[in-house]
């Protein structure tokens, strides 16, 4: 699984130089993206950040899956509590575990998709601190690399660009659970 390194660079020329250094460090161009102020031109091969990097679609989609699964499980329990005479459409030969599994899965999928679509309209909450600098002309460089290259590429950027600010890695460098 690839991790994303976030670096804030002061302007487009520093971003172009950092981009060239990433290419020299054997990072594929499709794994380097830039988040810039609207209307700022990039070099012809520099790629702007995609929709998943600019928005909160992944975060909101994950929250929607959890919320939808819980609500689907609750709906399944409520369905099982009422006698089937009142709800003939729900009556089936499935065991109670099948009914709970189906309602939980349907709730998770429906809510996950809905919340992800809502998240597309929201800016990335992980990058809120950088929003002001980007609006003043700063450039956020997002580099997607394997876990074993994180330290190496961070050192490259910090050595060659002392003006660059390190904004962290997504998802976290270390697992939450051992």
Q: What pLDDT, on the 0 to 100 scale, is given for residue 105?
A: 95
Confidence category of residue 67, pLDDT binned at 50, 70, 90: very high
Tell me how far apart the alpha carbons of residues 118 and 113 are, in angstroms, rounded to a whole number. Answer: 9
List, in sequence order, every beta strand (DSSP E) within the chain.
2-9, 32-35, 47-48, 139-146, 165-170
Write b or e for each residue in 64-102: b if 16 or more Cβ atoms lie within 10 A of its Cβ, otherwise e: bbebbbebbbebbeebeeeeeeeeeeeeeeeeeeebbee
Percent of the chain with pLDDT over 70: 88
Question: Which pTM value belongs to this model?
Answer: 0.69
Structural domain boundaries in the chain: 2-53+126-170, 57-119
| CATH assignment, 2-53+126-170 | 3.30.70.120
In this structure, the number of other CB atoms found within 10 A of the CB of residue 37 comes to: 13
Q: What pLDDT, on the 0 to 100 scale, is given for residue 36?
A: 80
């Amino acid at each position: 699984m690839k991790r994303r390194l976030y670096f804030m660079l002061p302007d487009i020329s520093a971003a172009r130089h950092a981009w060239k250094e990433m290419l020299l460090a054997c990072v594929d161009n499709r794994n380097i993206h830039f988040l810039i102020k609207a209307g700022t031109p990039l070099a012809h091969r520099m790629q702007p950040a995609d929709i998943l990097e600019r928005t909160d679609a992944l975060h909101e989609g994950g929250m929607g899956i959890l919320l939808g699964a819980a609500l689907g499980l609750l709906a399944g329990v409520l369905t099982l509590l009422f006698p089937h005479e009142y709800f003939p459409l729900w009556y089936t030969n499935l065991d109670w575990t099948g009914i709970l599994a189906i309602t939980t899965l349907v709730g998770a999928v429906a809510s996950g998709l809905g919340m992800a679509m809502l998240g597309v309209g929201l800016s990335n909450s992980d990058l809120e601190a950088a929003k002001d600098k980007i609006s003043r002309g700063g450039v956020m460089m997002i580099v997607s690399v394997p876990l074993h290259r994180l330290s190496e590429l961070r050192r490259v950027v910090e050595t060659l660009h002392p003006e660059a600010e390190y904004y962290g890695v997504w998802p976290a460098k270390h697992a939450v659970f051992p």
